[in-house]
Structure 1
Amino acid sequence: MDISALSEPVEFSATDWINANYKKYIEENNKKEGASATSFIQSYVAKLQLYVQQVNYAVEESSQQVVASMPRIAKEAATLQCDVALLQQKMSAMRQEVAAVQEETGDCMATLERLNSLQSKLQAAKESLQESDGWGNLLSELEDCFERNDMKGVCDKLRALQKSLQAQEQLPGHTERQTQVEDFKNRLEAMASPSLVQCFAESNLEQAQRHVQIFSSIQRLPQLQQYYRAVQKNVLQQQWKQTLELQASESPQQHFLTLFYDQLLEHCQRQLKWCVQLFADESIDVAQSQPFLVIAELLPALQPTRDAHILQLLKSSNERLELLAQYAQANQNFVLHLNSMLKQSSIRLPAELHGQLAEAVFEYFHKFIQQYPRLEETQLSTQVDRLLSNQSTPSDAVRHLEDSTRKLYEWLQQACARCEAITNDLALCKLITVLNGIFKRQLENFSRTQRQLSLSLGSSNSEGTARSENWSLLQYTMSQLQCLADFQLQLHQFEQLLHLRMSNLANKLQQPASGQEISIYQTCERVMHQQLLSTIADYQQKKSEATAATSSDSLGIFPQIYATLKTYLAETHDITLNILLQPIEAHLAHIRPPVEAYSSSSAINMPAFSYAPQESITQIGQYLLTLPQHLEPLLLSPSALLKQALELCNIKYTQAIPCADVLLSLVVEQCCVMYQAQILQIKSLPASSATQLSVDIEYLSNVLEELGLTINLQLSQILTLLKAAPDQYLNLSSGCEPRLVTAIRQMRNIISTQ
């Protein structure tokens, strides 16, 4: 029997274990399964009983051994406890002995330290006295070297004099001796300066290195570096004057800055290698920073200054913005090459020098950035003024609008490109203010064309030509609507571009200056920096508010321009309706009754009763029936811009029906209103005329039904009131507007029973 499974750590299954042993039992004894079950059970139960007995015996024996060993364990534990107590006593005694020894030896150590200090002071005093004895000799020897112009001897004696000065620090008169040493250093510097300037000017590395050793030995290396920078600045100043003189003889002088910057970069690259060799014993950062310090100190000190020369050129130029763009590009290219040089050479300039370089390159140009919006406004105004030309006919005016809108946005794109090129978008917010005025001036074109369309409509009306519908004029108004929508669409896209530019500008302004490349954004004054960020944040807030207002197409930059455009769209649409309503108005004028009562037979225009409508009404009906064939060519498949313009004019155009049907319905609606107004002007209406008027209204209703439309509610109520018998008038007028009920009752001279 395999009992190892009983002690396995995994879950034990009694059923699986019994079945496995049963199969093994059958295989070993060659028996059948059914017949051997009883014998298997008896055999394995007996074995299990024996195994349990063995286990019980082993447990009992182990328990007896544990009980027997307990007294011995207790005794050993008590002994160990006594040993621990004894050890604690010994450690306490030892701690007391150590404390006593420290107390006894502490005074001795203090005495030894005091004696050692006295010995050091005595030794220093001895050396000071010795050096004091030799001080006079050194001074006389140093004077001799000065008289012989022995620079090396002077340097050696000065080093010895410095050591002697350090040794005499404890003696009286140290300050006077220190002043003497500084005077000798000044004399040595004055002696070395001519040859120093010469070797720097000639780039004589060997001579320059000897001077570096001399100045290092007397701790005057910063002064030597100042000599180096002064010589280099003088050389570059001469190159600047030569560049200006050379360019003055040429007709285009705009390239003088690029030429000088190229010379400056070449000089910097040469001097960078030379300085690394010259200051090999010094810090590599100090050596590499010298040529860049030269640039940082040179550019603001150039004579004549860059801004003065540029101003002189601008005064004599008619293309000032183009010139400024070239000079701004020269600044940018120069900085790009500087950044590339620093990156390729793995040069990390100090933060102060980094900012000083940016100031040196860009600071002078900020005055031109301030002037840029005014120059841009002048140029754009001049361009837009060319567009504000009077056109003799409406067709020419509308075609001119399409061309002027295209040109305007081309000029605006060019203005934005110039703003980026000249100011790196630092003047973008001020440019937006300028553009507001430019847009307003351009909108004068739309206003002028709109007035021209209105005058054309008025002139045709005064000449009595309402019967010959001016379909050309209608086409012009549609073109005007399309131009307005095109202008608004391009304005929306332009606003998106400006928001993107402002977002990029804000990111650049918020970038930390340390560790970044040299850029113009480092040179912004704190006030200007905060104003720009604040203005951009305001525009972004307005954009969020405009986006939240779903009815607004503006993005918060030009809201007034959008409002003016919507006004022009509505007015142009009104002109369109007036063009279509003009024939109807002319026909209605023929049926207008006189102001006097109908008792004056000479003033009666209303005919006697007949079953046929009046001629003026039939002419209106025929006109309305012909409208679809005139409107469908214009509005059957309108362009996306015209569709957008119509939707802005009236929300009905947003329905899923053709625009021509919507316009026709608006014409019919106004026609009913005008007809209703004409009817209500009647003072007195005989029964036959009332019947005739109801026939006219029914005819108009039938015409509108053919067009798929209906007369308005007020006209329908007027028809009901006209057809009502006098004795039934009160009952049939129920549900009608009181104003209409009263007006028709007075016309028909029906006595009120109330």
Structure 2
Amino acid sequence: MDISALSEPNFSPAEWINTNYKKYVEENVKQGGEKTASAFIQSYVAKLQLYVQQVNYAVEESSQQVVSSMPRIAKEAATLQRDVQELQEKMLAMRQEVAAVQDETGECMATLERLNTLQSKLQAAKESLQESDGWGNLLAELEDGFERNDLKGICEKLTALQKSLQAQEQLAGHAERLTQVEDFKNRLEALASPNVVQCFAESNLEQAQHYADIFDSIQRLPQLQQYYRAVQKNVLQQQWKQTLEQQQQQHFLSLYYDQLLEHCQRQVKWCSQLFSGDQTQPFLVLAELLPALQPARDVHILQLLKTSNERLELLSAFAQANHSFVLHLNSSLEQSHIILPEHLKRQLGEAIFEYFHKFVQQYPRLEETQLSTQVDRLLSNQATPSDAVRHLVDSTRKLYEWLYEACTRCSVITSDLALCKLITLLNGIFKRQLENFGRTQRQLSLSLGSPKTENWSLLQYTMSQLQCLADFQMQLNQFEQNLHTRLDALDGKLGKSTDRHIITIYQTLDQATSKQLINSIKDYQQKKTEASETLGIFPQIYATLKTHLTETHEITLSVLLQPIEVHLSQIRPPAVDGNNMASSGIDMPSFSFAPQESITQIGQYLLTLPQHLEPLLLSPSPLLKQALELCNIKYTQAIPCADVLLSLVVEQCCLLYQAQILQIKSLPSSAATQLSVDIEYLSSVLEELGLSINQQLSQILTLLKAAPDQYLALSAGCEPRLVTAIRQMRNIISTQ
């Protein structure tokens, strides 16, 4: 039986009993004994009882030993407590003794420190006197070295002189000796400078490293770097003059920038070997060279602009040269893993772009001149309305082509820094183009009723005008979206200009200009948020467009209403004839009256209108549909545009007919009957068209048909104005 399993932390009684039972059964099988469960239980219970007895005996024996040892343990604990108290008392006494010793020896330690300080000063004075004794010898050796032009010897003696000067810092006359050392450095620099310039001009790395060691030993390595930059700037200045002499007007700047890039790439490795890993010197050369070029870049460009008729193209070429140069420069820095200091990066950006800011400021004026010249070519008077409308279509297409080209130039020349100013001048350009629409609109209006122009042709022209206006507005909306996209991009670039590791033109903006530009962009973004129907950049242009759309639609209605107006103008009350039965008081039945010819002509005209309108408006183009919806909200209904226009014509026709009737001063009974017949005829014609006369005309019909004695009763619910007017026409005496 495995008793050790009872002490395991994961002891399971059931598992332990099952395991032992299996072992018991296997052993009995091998021995040929019985394998009953009762036998197993008796055997293991007996063993467990024996084990428990052994455990109880061991526990009892351990308890007796503990009890017998308790007095001894208590005695030892008391002894240990007394020892601890004695130790604490000894430590307190020792602390007091140490404090007393510190008080006694404190003055001695301070004295020793003062003595040590004096000793150090005396030692320094001794060394200073020793160096002072050798100062004169060093001066003499230096003078001898200068007479022999021994640069190496001079450098060694000057290094020793510097160390001697440091040792003599405690002696009087240190300032005079310091001046002497600086004079010797100046003489050494003057002696070495011709050879330094020569080796830099020849790119002799071995000689340059020799002089770098000399200048480094006399702590004048920055002066050596100045010699390097002066030589390189002189070389590059000569290349600039040669480039200008090549008469490459549009490409002189890009050619020179290519030379600078090649020179810079060669010098980066050379300077890294010469100045112990310093790779910034070639870039510092560029930063110092470009603003000092003679003649200056802006001066030469101004001369070219004065003699050129393609000024914007020239500026685009020069701006592209600037950006291409910066792009390659940034790429070179990235490939070489060179991170320029922030001040040098800004200085280099200003050196490249600062001269061009004056052209950025001049750009809007040049762009306005070019756009105005182009738009002037569009302002031509056309002989016929059809030519005028076709001209509008072509001029709209050309205008937006020119505008997108202008935006491209703005991006290329100014990196969109002049975009807000460009937007301002574009308002004037759009207004001039809208004058074209107004001129064509007046021409269409003047053609109304002209014998040279048929109404149906004029209707087509007005529809084309509406479509052209909608096209203009759609393209204006797309153009505004493009401008907003560019404004957002510009806002992001201005905000990140100081955080980026590359050189950009945005870093060269002064704080005031940058803030003003950001505020202008925010203003446009705010207007976009507040605007409901536009994007907030050209709200006045949209308002003018809406006016032109409305007026052109009114001209369209006038074209369709003109024949109706002609026929209505011929309507007169029948003349009173003494022989007429109606004038003698005999009432004729209304069915004996026929509609007047003018009314039948109006009816026939209205019935023929659908066949003229449907070809134009049965399936209108999206642009024409959009234009009509802007003119009148009824066009947004789910019915054909031709039906809407027909309903508007009928509505105006009823108003005109009503006004014509109300102009009649006197209306005999027979004339009233005739008018009611005419109105009923018109009503039946409109019913065939799916329409009806308006409420006022219907009330006039009721009032015309009412008998004089029933007039008051039948006029109930009619407009008082109409009731009074018809009563006066019919000369009905009021009973009120």
Structure 1 length-normalised TM: 0.86
C-alpha distance in 2 between matches for 1:441 and 1:662: 33
Structure 1 residue 368 corresponds to structure 2 residue 359: yes
Task: Look up the match of 1:271.
Answer: 267
Task: Look up the match of 1:159.
Answer: 159
1:150-549 equivalence runs, <5 A: 150-247=150-247, 252-280=248-276, 284=277, 287-460=278-451, 470-546=455-531, 549=532
Deviations 1:101-143 (A, max 9, x none): 4334433332222211111110111111112122222222222
Preserved CA contact (<8 Å) 1:275 1:290: yes
C-alpha distance in 2 between matches for 1:600 and 1:688: 11
C-alpha distance in 2 between matches for 1:259 and 1:377: 30
Moved more, 741-750 or 310-319: 741-750
C-alpha distance in 2 between matches for 1:273 and 1:454: 77
Deviations 1:217-236 (A, max 9, x none): 11111111111111111111
C-alpha distance in 2 between matches for 1:668 and 1:80: 125
1:565-604 equivalence runs, <5 A: 565-592=545-572
Deviations 1:669-713 (A, max 9, x none): 001111111111111211111111111111111111111111111
Taking a change above 3 Å as real, the CA distance of residues 86 and 683 of structure 1, as seen in their structure-2 partners, is: farther
Taking a change above 3 Å as real, the CA distance of residues 5 and 202 of structure 1, as seen in their structure-2 partners, is: closer
C-alpha distance in 1 between matches for 2:664 and 2:77: 133
1:554-569 equivalence runs, <5 A: 554-569=534-549
C-alpha distance in 2 between matches for 1:109 and 1:433: 85
C-alpha distance in 2 between matches for 1:683 and 1:9: 124
Structure 1 residue corresponding to 2:608, chosen from 611, 616, 626 = 626
Preserved CA contact (<8 Å) 1:593 1:681: no
Task: Look up the match of 2:727.
Answer: 745
Taking a change above 3 Å as real, the CA distance of residues 710 and 68 of structure 1, as seen in their structure-2 partners, is: farther
What letter is aligned with 1:201? Answer: A
Number of matched pairs: 704
Moved more, 148-157 or 126-135: 148-157
Taking a change above 3 Å as real, the CA distance of residues 70 and 517 of structure 1, as seen in their structure-2 partners, is: farther
C-alpha distance in 2 between matches for 1:585 and 1:557: 43
Q: Gapped runs of 5+ residues in structure 1?
A: 28-39
Preserved CA contact (<8 Å) 2:449 2:455: no
Query: How far is 1:593 from its partner?
Result: 5.6
Structure 2 residue corresponding to 1:669, chosen from 647, 651, 658 = 651
CA RMSD, 1 decimal: 3.5
Taking a change above 3 Å as real, the CA distance of residues 74 and 614 of structure 1, as seen in their structure-2 partners, is: farther
Taking a change above 3 Å as real, the CA distance of residues 107 and 674 of structure 1, as seen in their structure-2 partners, is: same
Taking a change above 3 Å as real, the CA distance of residues 707 and 86 of structure 1, as seen in their structure-2 partners, is: farther
Percent identity of the aligned residues?
78
Query: How far is 1:259 from its partner?
Result: 1.0
What letter is aligned with 1:261? Answer: Y
Deviations 1:512-534 (A, max 9, x none): 42552111111111111011100
Task: Look up the match of 1:710.
Answer: 692
Deviations 1:543-598 (A, max 9, x none): 0111xx2xx1x10001011000000000000000000000110010000469xxx8
C-alpha distance in 2 between matches for 1:641 and 1:719: 41
Query: How far is 1:97 from its partner?
Result: 3.6
Task: Look up the match of 2:673.
Answer: 691
**Helix, strand or coil: the match of 2:723?**
helix
What letter is aligned with 1:152? Answer: K
Deviations 1:630-680 (A, max 9, x none): 000000000000000000000000000000000000000001111111111
Task: Look up the match of 1:33.
Answer: none
C-alpha distance in 2 between matches for 1:94 and 1:458: 131
C-alpha distance in 2 between matches for 1:430 and 1:76: 101
C-alpha distance in 1 between matches for 2:564 and 2:636: 27
Q: Gapped runs of 5+ residues in structure 2?
A: 26-37
Preserved CA contact (<8 Å) 2:465 2:552: yes
What letter is aligned with 1:227? Answer: Y
Taking a change above 3 Å as real, the CA distance of residues 592 and 216 of structure 1, as seen in their structure-2 partners, is: farther
C-alpha distance in 1 between matches for 2:656 and 2:193: 103
C-alpha distance in 1 between matches for 2:523 and 2:614: 46
Deviations 1:486-545 (A, max 9, x none): 000000000000000010011011004255211111111111101110000000000011
What letter is aligned with 1:413? Answer: Y
Taking a change above 3 Å as real, the CA distance of residues 78 and 653 of structure 1, as seen in their structure-2 partners, is: farther
Preserved CA contact (<8 Å) 2:573 2:671: no
C-alpha distance in 2 between matches for 1:630 and 1:82: 130
Taking a change above 3 Å as real, the CA distance of residues 559 and 7 of structure 1, as seen in their structure-2 partners, is: farther
C-alpha distance in 2 between matches for 1:381 and 1:498: 20
C-alpha distance in 2 between matches for 1:124 and 1:204: 45
